[in-house]
Structure 1
Amino acid sequence: MTDHLALLAFKSSITNDPQGVFRSWNKSFHFCEWEGVGCDLRHGRVTILDLGSKGLVGSLSPHVGNMSFLHVLRLENNTFLGAIPPQLGRLNRLQRLYLSSSNFEGEIPANLSHCSNLTHLLVSDNKLVGKFPNELCFFTKLKVLYIHRNNLTGGIPRSIGNLTSLEMLSAAINHIGGSVPDVLGQMKNLTTIGFAGNGLSGTLPPSIFNLSMLTNLSFAVNQLHGSLPPSLGIMLPHLQLFQIWGNQFTGTLPFSISNCSALQTLEMQRNNFSGKIGINFGGLPDLVTVRLHTNNLGSGEPDEMSFISSMTNCSNLKTLVLLLNQLRGFLPNSVGNLSSQLVTLALGGNLLYGKLPSTIGNLVNLTLLGLDINQFVGTIPTEIGNLQNLQVFALDRNNLSGKIPDSIGNISLLIQLFLGNNRLEGNIPPSLGSCKKLLLLDLSRNNLNGTIPKELLRVSALSISLNVGHNHLSGSLPSDVGSLKNLVELDISENELSGELPSGLGSCNSLENLHIEGNFFNGSIPRSLSSLRGIQYFDLSRNNFSGQVPSFLVNFSLMNLNISYNDFEGEVPMEGVFRNTSAISVVGNSKLCGGIPELQLPKCNFKESKKRKMSLALVTVISVVCTVLCVMMVLCFLFCIWLKKKRKGQHSESLSNELFLKVSYQWLLKATDGFSSANLIGVGSYSSVYKGILDEEDETSVVAVKVLNLQRRGASKSFMTECKALRNVRHRNLVKVITSCSSVDFHGNDFKALVYEFMPNGSLERWLNPDPGTENRQNIEIQSLNVLQFRVNIAIDVACALEYLHHHCQTPIVHCDLKPSNVLLDEDMVAHVGDFGVARFLQVLLDPKQSNSVGIKGTIGYVAPEYGMSSEVSIKGDVYSYGILVLEMMTGKRPTDTVFVDGLNLHNFAKTALPDRVTEIVHPMLMKTKEEEETTVPKKIQVPKDSRNDIRKECILSLIRIGVACSMEDPQDRMDITNVLHQLNLVRDNLGGN
């Protein structure tokens, strides 16, 4: 009865049984006949409980520990809440315990060591924490130990050497840290060692290389250094997988690797290896993957590339990546004799020269061919058209000449083609129009001539970039350009194009970068371009454009506008981008006038074509009226001065140069219904924010009123800072201030407030961490940011705001407190950055009389680490906060989450998951099914259904990488916000648009 009761207790702890496992668990059957249960028929006791991969949800009952005859317990690939019950330590007959991928939390129970007969312990892919228990080192019979992909810490204990029977040890992707103990070399039965992604330091102990039975050795993505023993391949002859990439190893590659005849995977990239690749690959027939990129390999010897010929015997080779080294020499003809299974060949970023061998056309299964950034000469062989499975082809930054072969149009699956920065000549082949899947085409900086073929402009898939700039192209821009509705970047600059811009260009409403400078275009700018609302960089300088400067440009969120050296005339607008002299250029247009004073253009003198004489009576009336008005204005001015002096507690700082219309305390009191708690929508360090209605008859006049708590020290300074910051900035992704109030209340106290545009969808914090008690759950499920597309859009909006503040304001502004609660969402879910109460101005910081660090404000978890060490405020600090915000959006974890202890933080949590574990750390709602995605995310580019999940994962990986790159500890290592914006736009485009 003990086993029967234990099984019933196990069943009662399960809350969801999607596969109906427990249908047979009833009185109609003996429990030994229940699904997943195996018994010893002689004793009638349960010896096996195998319910792996059944989709069970619930908790693991501690009563399982009462089944004392249990030999095998398999519960992997389910969802269990809570920790592994310590009662499992009672199962002293247990031999195999499988608990991987089951969501277990907490520590590995120390008393599992009582299971002295255990041979297999698999608890990988969970959420286990704590140190590796020393007690587990007494499993003298243990053969397999899988603890990878958890959150274990505390170093590798030396007592692990006691596991003398161990054959397979996998502990990758944890936070173990420390050094590699030499006792691992005592475990002579080991065939697999995996400690990748653990922050290990020091060197690999020589004893490791004495484990002659090893087949898999992986210490990738750590901080190990030193060199490898020359006899490695002789000492480890059975190696099948050798991974040490992402470390700091130096020296040469051991030639003896040639002796590892069973080798399948060789990954030594991202180290500091140097010298000749002297490995004879001919003795490695099972080789599938070779990655040696991002090292310093190369000797300059004449036979530098001879190893390619030795690889022709590797008939299973699929991936060969050698880019970013110092390899010098000819690419031998034998490259065409490589495996017919080869899908990736990447040799870019080396010093290869000579002609491209035509035999490369034999590699018909290639999907990626990268020969860029070398010194190749001659023509592109026509045999390249045989590579009909090719998707990415990079030949840019070489010295290639001749024509682009027409046969390139045969590569119908091509997605990205890079041929820029060569000496190619002749026409752009119309056959490129057959590459219907092309997303990016770069033909820039060549000697191409002729016209832009219409066939190319009809490739509607082009969305990332079409760059034919810096050539000798002539003729007009065909109206077919309007077919590129999804194109983000169009560069036709520095050519000999002429005629008027086609109105169809306005149909390219996804354009963000448009470069048409350095041509012979004429006429006026088509009104249809007013639909390019997303454009950020627009350069039409050095052409022959005429007419008025288009007024619709003031409505664009332009980062840069260059209309210089044309023939524009008339008045320059004073709104939008035209207010920012660092973002515009209008020089070389002799007929322009007006604009802001900084442009130093002549004043506009518009004279009436017909002058009418006015009667003496009319002149007299006008004179009298003007005199009366002047007297009234003087009296009003004197009255204002008298009233201002009368105010109590007048501040020395003056806001008289504000551009905001001020309102009275009484007005705001009425608008907020007496600052009623019912209208309170937020509380901050220095202020409270109320919802208000400035005009009861106008339902659209809803505003947010930020009232400063002047009893708090620093509140008045915060008000002054925010006023100054918002006075001269204007961007669609910054919260717009409507007016300000600096007055006294009914009790004679100082009163300061700012009135902002109201954001009906509240803060990003609300959407990332909704409160079930106060939010409408149904509304959240429909609209919340659980769809990847929305999060990408918000990331772009915030990056746009920072890019503007950092690089396009007359005085660069550092926000200093970027976090989800300071990102507000309007009715269209467009993000706006607000709360500039602790912002800093860089020109002030450059004043040696001013402090760069005193009084730095920010929020724990989001504030850059260097600020805690009294470092100067910089735009890099905002980038750090931005990176944390992106990681929070993707993982659903605040930087102050309780899981981040013992040196673990949100940055490290995300970094260690790159690149293969990101789907495990992201918020579950980001991993929707294809069907859910189709109903919630509109797309600009129709992607085949069976590819969308892969695209989603790629986009998630890119966002995590951006968040990690922005939140690096060293400010100099952080990604520039302009580059961030570029990368995010690529992500949005890959995902399929807004």
Structure 2
Amino acid sequence: MKPIQNKSPSFISPVCNKRAFLLIFLFIMQNITLSLALRSIDHPGNATDHAALLVIKSQLKVPSNWVLSSWNDSIHHCSWEGVKCGRKHKRVTVLDLSSRGLAGTISPFIGNLSFLKILNLYNNSLYGEIPTQLGHLIRLNELQLYNNTLVGEIPANISRCVNLRVFYLANNKLEGKLPTGLGALSKLTHFRVQINHLKGSLFDIIQNLTSLVKIYAYENSFTGTIPNSINRMQNLTRLGVGGNELSGRLPTSFFNLSSLQYLDFDENQLHGELPADVGVNIPQLTWLNLEHNNFTGLVPITIQNLTALEAIGLGYNNFIGNVPFYVGNFHKLNYLSLGGNFLEGILPKSVANLSTSLQVLDIRNTQISGKIPEGITNLNNLELLWMYNCKLTGFIPQDFGKLYKLELLHLESNNLKGKIPNSMANLSYLSEFYLDDNKLEGSIPPNLRNCQSLLYLNLSHNELNGTLDNELFDGSARFVELDLSSNYLEGSLPLEMGKQNNLVLLGLDNNKFSGIIPDSLGDCSDLQHLFMDGNSFQGNIPSSFASLASLQEIDFSRNNLSGPIPAFFSKFPILYYLNLSYNDFEGSVPTNLVFANASAVFVAGNNRLCGGIKQLHLPKCIEKKSSGKKKRIMSHALKLIIPIVGALFGMVAIASGLYLACLKKKKSPLSSDSMMGIVTMKVSYDMLLKATDGFSSENLLGMGSFGSVFKGILDGKAVAVKVLNLQHRCASKSFMAECNTLRNVRHRNLIGIITACSSIDFQRNDFRALVYEFMPNGSLDRWLHGVDGNMSLAQRVDLAIDVAHAISYLHHECETPIVHCDLKPSNILLDNDMVAHVGDFGLARFLTQPRHPNQSSTIGIKGTVGYAAPGNNRVIPIYI
């Protein structure tokens, strides 16, 4: 037997040797890499960048935890999200945090990234001022901060960024003048500052920047003239400066910019005639917009040379002469505006030869005459057609329905005749249809009901006749404004008209309508303007009209209406015009609200009216005296009734005391001191802006379907400011509903509204807001679901009783019952004492009594779609 020998390394296989070597090599390289990474941070320059980035992050608010989650010490900052470094020195050269949903401010430490070439922070929600330290970034090529809410002036020392090529600050809230030093940025090629509040001279600053390719400065307040030296900008391809206050003439040299493709001078104060050779030296021009200026003279014939044009905007100037005969020669055109000039003559048939890509055709407010060319219906991509206030004659083409993409059709104030074509029913995208002030005849096509997008229909001041078909109001169309006034329409109004519950304006005046006013009109709860004068309506004003508290104007004059003037008219909060003259109304005239203003209410020609304010000059009302026998009967009745009622009140008082004692409630009675309605406090947009620190995100309490709620300090008192988002089509409706409801209710367990604000903000958009009592303990929803804390069963019972009090008040104690329509925990707010207040009345409705015994409510399904209380929480049922 051989002795056992020890194994030596020479017996290890070659494969094992290679694996061991590879593992050792990887271990060494990993340590070397880590060492180099740590050393790179220790390098003075990299340490500066690293520290600057951390400070920048500290001043940003991220929408969720994963955004910028890589910005920590576990990896080198050159590998952080949105950060790129140079290969040689590992210094930060790119910081791109665009479209990350970031809020907060831009840190001054941005200036410490001295090797930065590209800074992209666009399309976020950044606020505050642009830090002056940006001027330290002398290597910067791109600066993109557009689509934020930055304020203040553009830093003057931005002129130190001599390598800047791209300068995008558009769509912010910047103000003041452009820094004069911008004119030294000779490498600048792209300049965008549109949609801000900038002012002062524009071209005096940038006229020497001959490298500029694109200039967008529209929607500001720039002034000054266009200098002759602009012809040095031979690289310029796009110039958009509309919506400013530029003045003077266009220099002849301007039209030598042969590279120009896009030109927009819309909405300025330019004047003078256009050069005759305007279309000779700019053959690449695709967009020409000179609208809303004061240009005069003839439209130059050389414009026909610009065959690449996709848009021609010459409207709203003072051009004269005939309609250019060559308008049909542009086969790429998608926009043509000639309206608002002194052009005349017949609309050329060649219009029908325009590109089928044409989307907008505008010849309104001109002296253009003749017939509408039959071939116009070939332009089947038309979306907006404005031909009103001209001298057009003849018939509307029968196949107008071929323009199936039409959204707006305005043919009013012409001399058109004949019938409304039935093919109009094919226009399923049509939202505005105006044919008023023509000579149209025949009946209204009932198939207009198929225009499912139709909101505005005006057929007034024509010669239409016949009755209104039920089908017109029983289809897809949901009118906001319906004006049929000054025609020869007759018969009674269809009951189906009440289904048009989006109506804001209804004009039926000066026709031959008869019969009673249908009760169903009371379902049009958004109605603000109602004109039914000059007809033969009879009977009483329906009691269902009590729910039309949004009415501002009412005209029932020159009819055969009778009965008393409804008392509810004297409670409509925003009614400012009421004409009941020349009917057969009787009884006393109220004296409050609209009836207190003799210039707002008209009752002449009603010989049986009495009372009212002195200025109406009506006889005093005579009170009817009861006979002695009736007095004795009443006296005996009172002797029996009073003890019975007293006993009942005593029993109710005892039962109420026992009930409250059992609940151990320590709340104060519902005194008027604890009830809050609308305070007549005038609040402006600027006051709310200051109170909420510019509607800053730090003061944002929450966001809902129709707007956002901010905390503010108004006159030293904490308030909640609800700002309506008017881009939402139902926001205005919600605003009116909440105002109307809270004007009529006062109760301790309802949210208190301090005032309502409706004005125009600095961007010329509608602004509407409501100011409420501030509820420091937030919503019930947050307490129930553990965000703010847990609640005991006793607390839940207390809050349920609070809510029950509020709902009972709305349903049973208001003069007109009110249905909240959106009762849920997030709409129940808690004050300092944890008392519940029901809020958010944006969907609330006044509930009139059913008109028939078997009739159900027409409010419909409203509120939060799909809402149900979470199943993992106890729900305390409330029975009222």
* Match of residue 325 from structure 2: 306
Q: In the superposition, relative to structure 1, how do residues 485 and 827 fare at CA in structure 2: closer, same or farther (>3 Å)? A: farther
2:562 pairs with 1:546 = yes
Q: Give the AA of the match of 1:377.
A: T
Amino acid at match of 2:484: V
> In the alignment, which residue of structure 2 is the partner of 1:250?
271
1:489 and 2:510 are equivalent in the alignment: no
Count residues in correspondence.
680
Contact 1:152 1:175 in 2 (8 A): yes
2:117, 2:141 within 8 Å by CA — same for their partners in 1? yes
> Quick one: which amino acid aligns to residue 316 of structure 2?
T
Residues 797-816 of structure 1: per-residue CA shift (max 9 Å, x gap): 99999xx9xxxxxxxxxxxx
Query: Which residue does the alignment assign to 1:506?
Result: 522
Distance in 1, Cα, partners of 2:398 & 2:469: 20
Normalised by the length of structure 2, the TM-score is 0.67
Question: Residue 260 of structure 2 is aligned with which of 239, 244, 255?
Answer: 239
**If you compute each CA radius of gyration, which structure gives the higher value, 1 or 2?**
2
Contact 1:331/1:353 (CA < 8 Å) preserved in 2? yes
Listed one character per residue, the Cα deviations across residues 24-49 of structure 1 (whole Å, up to 9, x for unaligned) are: 677886766665555565x4734654
Is 1:478 the counterpart of 2:494? The answer is yes
Give matches, 1:569-584, under 5 Å. Answer: 569-584=586-601
Aligned to 1:168: 190
CA contact (8 A) 2:226 2:251 kept: no
Pick one of 401, 415, 438 that aligns with 2:454: 438
Question: In structure 2, how many angstroms separate the alpha carbons of the residues matched to 1:345 and 1:778?
Answer: 40
Cα 1:112/1:777, change in 2 over 3 Å: closer
| Letter aligned with residue 382 of structure 1 | Q
Residues 571 and 333 of structure 1, relative CA distance in 2, 3 Å threshold: same
For the structure 1 residues 205 and 590, does the alpha-carbon distance in structure 2 shift closer, same or farther, using more than 3 Å as the test? Answer: same
Q: Which residue of 1 aligns with 2:215?
A: 193
Where do residues 656-671 of structure 1 align in structure 2 (5 Å cutoff)? none
* Partner of residue 785 from structure 1, selected from 705, 716, 722: 722
Q: Deviations over 1:574-612 (max 9, x none)?
A: 455333322222111222333344332234446679786
Q: Is the 8 A contact 1:415 1:438 kept in 2?
A: yes
CA distance in 1, matches of 2:136, 2:106: 22
What are the Cα deviations for residues 74-133 of structure 1, in whole angstroms up to 9, with x where unaligned? xxx744534342643632xx4433344456666656665554444333344456566555
Distance change >3 Å, CA 134–CA 537, structure 1 → 2: closer
Counterpart contact for 1:374–1:398, Cα < 8 Å: yes
1:53 equivalenced with 2:98 (yes/no): yes
- Alignment partner of 1:378: what SS? strand
Alpha-carbon shift at residue 184 of structure 1 (Å):
3.7
Does the CA-based 8 Å contact 1:182-1:208 persist in structure 2? no
Pick closer, same or farther for the CA change 1:44–1:190 going to 2, 3 Å.
closer
Q: Deviations over 1:214-249 (max 9, x none)?
A: 10123322222111134533x111112212222110
Residue 593 (structure 1) aligned with residue 593 (structure 2): no
C-alpha contact 1:539 1:562 (8 A) present in aligned 2: yes
CA distance in 1, matches of 2:90, 2:201: 45
2:335 is matched with 319
Kindly indicate whether the alpha-carbon contact (under 8 Å) linking 1:277 and 1:307 is maintained by their aligned counterparts in 2: no
Aligned ranges 1:492-641 → 2 under 5 Å: 492-557=508-573, 558-605=575-622
- Over the aligned positions, Cα root-mean-square deviation in angstroms equals 4.8
Measured at CA, do residues 47 and 201 of structure 1 come closer, stay the same or move farther in structure 2, by a change above 3 Å?
closer
**Within 5 Å, which residues of 2 pair with 1:243-282?**
243-258=264-279, 259-278=281-300, 280-282=302-304
- Conservation of the 8 A alpha-carbon contact between 2:92 and 2:113: no
- 1:701 to 2:720 alignment: no
Letter in structure 1 aligned against 2:452: K
Ranges in structure 1 where 5+ consecutive residues have no aligned partner: 56-76, 622-695, 707-731, 737-762, 805-823, 835-861, 863-877, 893-931, 943-947, 949-994
Instruction: Give me the whole-angstrom Cα distance separating, in 1, the residues matched to 2:421 and 2:697.
Output: 62
Structure-2 change in CA distance of 1:276 and 1:544 (3 Å): same
Q: In structure 2, do the counterparts of structure 1 residues 181 and 450 end up closer, same or farther at CA, with 3 Å as the change threshold?
A: closer
List aligned pairs for 1:15-414, cutoff 5 A.
Answer: 16=62, 18=64, 20=66, 36=82, 38=84, 43=88, 45-46=90-91, 48-53=93-98, 55=100, 78-79=102-103, 81-85=105-109, 87-88=111-112, 90-91=114-115, 94-101=116-123, 115-126=137-148, 135-150=157-172, 155-180=177-202, 182=204, 184-230=206-252, 232-233=254-255, 235-258=256-279, 259-278=281-300, 280-297=302-319, 299-300=320-321, 303-311=322-330, 313=331, 315=332, 317-414=333-430
Quick check: 1:344–1:369 contact (8 Å CA) kept in 2? yes
Any unmatched runs of 5+ in structure 2?
1-37, 636-665, 682-686, 712-719, 773-825, 828-839, 846-857, 860-864, 866-880
1: CA distance, partners of 2:509 / 2:39: 82
Shift in Å, 1:467: 0.7
After superposition, the Cα gap between the structure-2 partners of 1:196 and 1:525, relative to the gap in structure 1 and judged at 3 Å, is: closer
Instruction: Map Cα deviations across residues 315-367 of structure 1 (whole Å, 9 max, x no partner).
Output: 2x322233322221211112122221222222212221111111111111112
Task: Kindly provide the amino acid, as one letter, of the partner of residue 431 in structure 1.
Answer: N
State the AA in 1 paired with 2:526. Answer: S
- Cα shift readout 1:188-223 (whole Å, capped 9, x = no counterpart): 322123333443322111101231211012332222
Amino acid at match of 1:325: N
**Partners of 1:226 and 1:296 in 2: how far apart?**
15
C-alpha spacing 1:173/1:536, structure 2 compared with 1 (3 Å): closer
Q: Which amino acid aligns with 1:164?
A: S
The residue identity in structure 2 corresponding to 1:277 is: V
Give the counterpart letter for 1:4 in structure 2: I
3-state SS of paired residue (1:177)? strand
Matched position secondary structure for 1:487: coil
Q: Which deviations, in whole Å up to 9, do the C-alpha atoms of 1:684-733 show, x marking residues without a partner? A: xxxxxxxxxxxx99933323899xxxxxxxxxxxxxxxxxxxxxxxxx97
Q: Is the 8 A contact 2:480 2:504 kept in 1?
A: yes
More displaced 10-residue stretch of structure 1: 370-379 or 588-597: 588-597
CA drift of 1:524 comes to 2.4
CA distance in 1, matches of 2:763, 2:96: 41
Partners in 2 of 1:602 and 1:367 — Cα distance? 58
After superposition, give the CA deviation of every residue in 1:804-837 in whole Å (9 maximum; x if it has no partner): 9xxxxxxxxxxxxxxxxxxx99976686769xxx
Residue 394 of structure 1 deviates from its aligned partner by 0.7
Amino acid at match of 1:81: T
Note the C-alpha offset of 1:279. Answer: 5.1
> Using the alignment, how far apart are the partners of 2:690 and 2:118 within structure 1?
46
Is the CA contact (8 Å cut-off) linking 1:798 and 1:833 kept in structure 2? no
In the alignment, residue 266 of structure 2 is paired with which amino acid?
W
- The 1:278–1:771 alpha-carbon spacing in structure 2 relative to 1, beyond 3 Å, is closer
Which residue of 421, 446, 461 maps to 2:437? 421
Q: 1:866 maps to what in 2?
A: none
Q: Deviations over 1:766-791 (max 9, x none)?
A: 99679999999999789851553798
Given that 2:62 and 2:102 are in contact with CA atoms closer than 8 Å, whether structure 1 keeps it comes out as: no
CA distance in 2, matches of 1:392, 1:197: 25
1: CA distance, partners of 2:235 / 2:771: 40
Q: Which moved more, 1:96-105 or 1:493-502?
A: 96-105
Query: Aligned equivalents of 1:249 and 1:337: distance in 2?
Result: 32
TM-score (norm 1): 0.60
Contact 1:151 1:175 in 2 (8 A): yes
Query: What is the alpha-carbon distance in structure 1 between the residues aligned to residue 121 and residue 156 of structure 2?
Result: 20
Deviates more, 1:108-117 or 1:559-568: 108-117
Q: Please state whether the residue corresponding to 1:785 is helix, strand or coil.
A: strand
SS of the equivalent of 1:188 reads coil
Render the CA deviation track for 1:142-177: whole Å, top value 9, x for unaligned: 332334445555644554443333222333344443
The verdict on how the C-alpha distance between 1:177 and 1:590 changes in structure 2, with shifts beyond 3 A counting, is: closer
Contact 1:280–1:310 (CA under 8 A) maintained in structure 2: no
Q: From the superposition, tell whether residues 23 and 166 of structure 1 become closer, same or farther in structure 2 (CA, over 3 Å).
A: closer
